[in-house]
Amino acid sequence: MNFRNQKRYIVDKEREIYAGIRANAPLIVRADGRNFKRVLLEHKFRKPYDERFAKGIASAAELFFVKSGFDPLLAYIFSDEISLYFRFVPFRGRIEKLDSIIASFLASALTIALDFKDPIAFDARVIPVCGDEEVVAYFAQRQAEAWRNHINAYGYYGLIESGLSAKEAEKRLRGMKAEDVHEMLFRMGINLNDKPSWERRGIMVVRHGYEKEGYDPRAERGGTVTVTRYRIAQLWDLPLFNTEEGENLLMRYLRECE
């Protein structure tokens, strides 16, 4: 190399395509499993839902709260999707950092939780939100998607068990309304209302505050003080977020860490 022309070959930070793209908090990062249909098949998980996988992905989200160095307020999970809500983010909101680190951490955490031998991957995207109302609306929309996913998953595998091929099942479901799929499943002896709540409505991971008495030698009255501590909790029996009960639950955890 001619070192007099070395500058022509140097790739500096100005060429990092996304380095300058930032997002202001509050924001949500949604991570989706990549090719998880193949992963679940290879590891012989039950279809369309397997509690072992659900526990694994909930544990991965919980590990993110504890070990990642990030500070999410809550996470919402269904299928192979994890949405994490942040009021504050590191790296001055650099999207390339947020997406890459969060996706890679969750992939590692799920690999540990389920003892996978082969690598897995998540992709991630950033969704800015403005205020608690938008946060509630976002999670209500994702929960509605969880319900649609629930209906279609049972419809798809119900048709396959009835003798249709995968392509035939997809073709049959295409264009069917949710109530029609629900009725078809009922005729097959499958009542979705009897399925576990977490399948239909998803799972939340939250920071749960509780009061604890402690000792402070600087305090009056013998040094006894009451302090607020936080632990991570998994919620497997959620209300509908588009109801007053569901909105109140979300608002409780949104305000808990203020």
Token pair recorded at residue 70? 């990030």
Entry pTM = 0.88
Section 114-130 average pLDDT: 95
Q: Which residues pair with 206 in a beta bridge?
A: 74, 233
Token pair recorded at residue 47? 């279809």
Task: Please check the confidence at residue 53 and state whether its pLDDT lies above 60.
Answer: yes
Task: Please check the confidence at residue 67 and state whether its pLDDT lies above 80.
Answer: yes
Q: How confident is the model at residue 221 (pLDDT cuts 50, 70, 90)?
A: low
Task: Please check the confidence at residue 58 and state whether its pLDDT lies above 80.
Answer: yes
Better pLDDT: 208 or 116: 116
Section 89-93 average pLDDT: 93
Which of 24-33, 40-49, 81-90, 121-130 is the least confident region?
A: 40-49
> Which pLDDT value is given to residue 223?
66
Task: Please check the confidence at residue 150 and state whether its pLDDT lies above 80.
Answer: yes
Q: How confident is the model at residue 175 (pLDDT cuts 50, 70, 90)?
A: confident
Write the pLDDT tens digit of every residue in 231-256.
999 999 999 999 999 999 999 999 87
Task: Please check the confidence at residue 11 and state whether its pLDDT lies above 70.
Answer: no
Q: How confident is the model at residue 34 (pLDDT cuts 50, 70, 90)?
A: very high
> Which pLDDT value is given to residue 209?
75
Q: How confident is the model at residue 155 (pLDDT cuts 50, 70, 90)?
A: very high
**73, 140 contact by CB (below 8 A):** no
> Which pLDDT value is given to residue 18?
79
Portion of the chain with pLDDT greater than 70, in percent: 89
Q: How confident is the model at residue 10 (pLDDT cuts 50, 70, 90)?
A: low
Better pLDDT: 39 or 76: 76
Phi, psi angles (nearest 5°) of residue 235: -110, 115
Section 50-59 average pLDDT: 98
> Which pLDDT value is given to residue 15?
76
CATH of domain 27-133+197-201: 3.30.70.3000
Section 119-130 average pLDDT: 96
